[in-house]
């Protein structure tokens, strides 16, 4: 997903979920060879803007593989809740996201 489109998409998805306020944070991770990163992203949307060859992203929203695959594979750029990124290669790889933090009026943060 291109960054410009991801920004527009984030605004639309936040509004679809009933949030008028949100914050966007740019995130980049380097996943070591055959490594894995797991994290929780409650009340957030994570939009893939770049994914290195061999990375597999799974979340409660779906799966995105940048790898040789057989059969039908869901190609989802939006992720959230429990996210797992796995590097299936023997070289490190980079992934970039737009993290969309959905804000409520009583979450204690500044708007």
Kindly report, residue by residue over 54-100, the tens digit of the pLDDT. Answer: 999 999 888 888 766 555 555 578 898 899 999 999 999 999 999 99
Domain ranges, ordered by start, for the chain: 3-103
DSSP 111: -
Q: Which residue has the higher pLDDT, 110 or 77?
A: 77
The CATH superfamily holding the domain 3-103 is Jelly Rolls (2.60.120.10)
pLDDT in tens, 15-43: 999 998 999 999 999 999 999 999 999 88
For residue 36, what pLDDT is reported?
Answer: 97
């Amino acid at each position: 997903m291109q960054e410009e489109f991801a920004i527009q998409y984030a605004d639309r998805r936040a509004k679809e979920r009933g949030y008028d306020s949100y914050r966007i944070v740019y995130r980049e991770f380097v996943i070591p060879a055959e490594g894995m990163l797991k994290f929780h992203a409650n009340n957030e949307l994570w939009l893939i803007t770049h994914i290195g060859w061999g990375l597999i992203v799974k979340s409660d929203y779906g799966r995105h593989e940048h790898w040789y695959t057989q059969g039908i594979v869901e190609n989802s750029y939006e992720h959230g809740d429990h996210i797992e990124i796995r590097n299936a290669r023997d070289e490190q790889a980079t992934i970039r996201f737009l993290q969309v933090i959905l804000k409520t009026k009583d979450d204690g943060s500044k708007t």
